[in-house]
Amino acid sequence: MTINPDTRIALVTGGASGIGKAIAEALAEDGLKVVISDLNQEQGQALAEAIDGHFIASDLTRPEACADLVQAINHRYGGVDVLVNNAGIQHVSAIEDFPEEKWDLMMQLMLTTPFLLIKYIWPYIKQKGRGRIVNMGSVHAQIASLNKSAYVSAKHGLLGLTKSAALEGGEHGITANLVCPAYVKTPLVENQIAAQAATLGLSPGQVETEVMLKSAAIKRMIQPGEVASLVAYLCSDKASAVTGAAWNIDLGWTAQ
C-alpha cells in the first residue's frame, strides 16, 4: 500500500476500546496512520474505518503473534514509527489463591509482549533514526495494592523495560516513556468495579469513592481522552527530549 512517505505509522495494541481507542483517535487526529491490534474484530474494524486506519486481529498472548503482527505492518507500510503498548488484563486475587496460569498469561501480555514488539520494530526505527515507544503503565508501576500481585509485578517490570529502552535508544533518536494513570473509566475498570462490589458487599458507587478514589487527591475517575492527550504528546516531535520517564496521571495518588 502506497502512502505519503512523511506519514508516520503507529501501532496501538488493545486499541479497539477504552484507553486504546482514545489513543488511536488522538494519534489519527495528529496525522498518523494508525494500526489497531486487538482481539475484538468488530469494534477494532469499525474504529479503523472511522479514523482511516488499519485493523489487524491478534492474540498477543502468543509470542509468535507479535512477530506476525510486525511483519504484516512492515509488509503493508514499510515499518512502524510509533509503538503504544496498551493491551492489558486484570485479575484480582490474594497471592495464595492466585491461579498460576493467570499469572503466566498476565506476564506474557503485559511484559513479554511489549518487549517482543519493541524488539521487532527496533531495527526499523534505529535505521530511520527516529522512533517513539509509549508503554501503558499504571499507578501500580510505582506502588502496590492488595490482591493485585501479577498486575503490580508486570507494571513494575514494564517501568524497568521502558528505562532500558530509553537508554539504548537515545543515540538513535528513539524515546521510550511510561504513562501511569490511576483508575480510568473504561470497560476493564467497570468490570473491576462490579467484581469488587460483589466481593466487598458494596454498591458500585461505593467502590469508586471508598476504594478506587480513596487515595486520590482529585475525587473523580479519569477519562480515556485525558490519557490519550498525554500519549499523543509523548509521540510527537515536541517530546524529542523526553525519555525514560514515568508520567503520572493519577489524580495525585502518588503525591502522598
The three grid cell numbers given for residue 37, joined into one nine-digit string: 491490534
The three grid cell numbers given for residue 42, joined into one nine-digit string: 468488530
- Cα separation, 215 vs 192, in Å, equals 17
* Residue 192 counted as domain residue: yes
User: What pLDDT does residue 195 have?
Assistant: 83
Domain co-membership, 104 together with 146: yes
User: What pLDDT does residue 4 have?
Assistant: 80
User: What pLDDT does residue 32 have?
Assistant: 98
Domain co-membership, 103 together with 197: no
Residue 187 near residue 17 (C-beta atoms within 8 A) = yes
User: What pLDDT does residue 2 have?
Assistant: 65
- Cα separation, 190 vs 204, in Å, equals 9
The three grid cell numbers given for residue 23, joined into one nine-digit string: 489513543
* Residue 163 counted as domain residue: yes
Domain count, the chain: 2
Domain co-membership, 131 together with 91: yes
Question: For residue 184, which of 230, 149, 142, 144 has the smallest C-alpha distance?
Answer: 230
Domain co-membership, 197 together with 75: no
Domain co-membership, 103 together with 190: no
3-state secondary structure of 184: strand
| Regions of the chain where pLDDT drops below 70 | 1-2
3-state secondary structure of 181: strand
* Residue 256 counted as domain residue: no
User: What pLDDT does residue 256 have?
Assistant: 87
Contacts of 70 (CB under 8 A, 6+ apart): 11, 80, 117, 120, 121
Domain co-membership, 113 together with 191: no
Domain co-membership, 80 together with 154: yes
Q: Give the tens place of pLDDT for each residue, 107-146.
A: 999 999 999 999 999 999 999 999 999 999 999 999 999 8
Residues β-bridged to residue 184: 222
> What's the pTM?
0.95
Domain co-membership, 193 together with 102: no
* Residue 254 counted as domain residue: no
Domain co-membership, 82 together with 204: no
Residue 235 near residue 84 (C-beta atoms within 8 A) = yes
* Residue 18 counted as domain residue: yes
3-state secondary structure of 248: strand
The question of whether 151 is a catalytic residue gets the answer yes
Domain of residue 210, residue span: 185-221
Which is catalytic among the residues 120, 151, 183, 233?
151
Q: Which helix (H) or strand (E) covers residue 176, if one does?
A: strand 174-181
Domain co-membership, 48 together with 146: yes
Domain co-membership, 43 together with 139: yes
User: What pLDDT does residue 3 have?
Assistant: 75
